[in-house]
Amino acid sequence: MNHETLFNKLLTNDETFINKSIKTKNLNLNLSKARIPTQTYIMFNSLTKEINLIKKFKSFFSKNTHNISEKISVNHHQLRSNKSNFYTKEKNRLIKFINTIHKKNIITDIVQIGIGGSYIGPKSIHEALTFQTIKTTNKTKLNGHFITSLDPLEFKTYVQPLNPKTTLFILASKSGHTQEIIANLNLLKEWWKTHQLPLKTLPKHCISLTTKGSPIDKPEISENRFYIDKAIGGRFSTTSVIGLCIIGLCFGVKTIEEFLSGAANMDKNATNPTCDTNLSLAAAWEHIWQHTIKKSTSRAIIPYSFALQTFPLFIQQLICESNGKSVNHHANTISYKTAPIIVTGTGTNAQHSFFQLLHQGTDIIPVEFIGIKDNNNYNNQSENQAKKLLNANMYAQIEALQLGQSAKNKHYILKGKKPSSLLLLNDISPYIMGQLIAYYENKTIFEGLIWNINSFDQLGVELGKKLIPKFISQ
């Protein structure tokens, strides 16, 4: 089917809008303020069937040809499969290693060095689970830190207070030759020497997460090496050893199993045939409606949760790097809009930053809210009241965007009718964070399939890298 024809089917004169929530046990996607016409929503389900969307999605669970430009399979769903494969064997090796580290009870800190998918996904999950342990007054097993920048100031800031004898360094890079890994490894060696420690002892304190045979897959760099392969895209690698290593070291191996189980549960949900029960599918069609049909060029993603403050950056990478494309599977230029630019912020901070533009600016920017239920499970009444106030702010903004405000003085007019959606989580836990990661991965895949683009390469990232030597030599 011609995709312009497909998208035209979503247009309607229907002025009634859906009032619908799609729920699982732990997640609730509320689309009642997304301003999706009832007839359009019906077409979402009809077109899902017409273009065999669920059948295409299910093909990701085995060897496939979805990354057509690089001619490799897309295998990240197999990371949380209960079938015995290369990835489960690496996970089991990793778990054995983590248990050994915990039993020795020597290491206190873990530093993960990486960029892109080797940084933002793992950091988002680590951060969420760390704040959850603070909320419940539990303690992490080990302290986690992340370094991603080429700026030596970042390395110095995070590493200077640490004791090298009680610290492990994770070198996370699929290719093993990213400039950030090389530069920070050199900084690490210099730091190691400033503590009068011989360089030959550094590999005992290093863990490589990479592909076999890469430049950091060497015993002189790290004694402990765990693997992924080229079929795992960086932004889809959080449920691989890239994310599991620091999560397991900091929170225990039980966390790994719960995290993967949550992701597998959401993968199963994504095979449901209609938007009525398939959260990722419903969210993808809402995204298509706002940005391809209604032609919004931006999207705001705002969690009302301190624990999720970094998570929108993961979504930003996932959406923009996956679906920031302008040619289809046949390498033909497309005429419709694909991924929008993602604007991020957190809770009431965002309200006092750019929400003014959302309410009274000239562009209509859909807002994706992420919230945590009020469960009264904090330690005292004041904490529970503060949480209720936070969520009250979120619901007030959703309603204000929808209703707007009339006034005689034009300065006070808010037009309203601004679309938004709300993803409400029951709580923060390893299982729910696994669900959240898979929900957004699958949503992004559905969008790419609907747009008929390759969501699994990032060739636009490479040009700048090729030009770097020109400027170093100047």
- Which residues are tagged catalytic? 321, 352, 465
3-state SS, residue 276: coil
Q: With beta carbons less than 8 A apart as the criterion, state whether 86 and 267 touch.
A: no
- CA 62, distance to chain mean position in Å, is 22
Token digits for 268?
């199963």
Residues 6+ apart with CB under 8 A from 141: 102, 249, 250, 251, 252
Cα distances (angstroms) measured from residue 324 to each of 31, 279, 297: 24, 22, 12
Q: With beta carbons less than 8 A apart as the criterion, state whether 354 and 363 touch.
A: no
Q: Which residue carries 């489960």 as its tokens? A: 88
**CB count, 10 Å around CB of 136?**
12
3-state SS, residue 154: helix
**CB count, 10 Å around CB of 271?**
15
**How do strand 298-303 and strand 367-372 relate by DSSP bridges?**
parallel
Token digits for 363?
């562009």
Q: With beta carbons less than 8 A apart as the criterion, state whether 51 and 6 touch.
A: yes
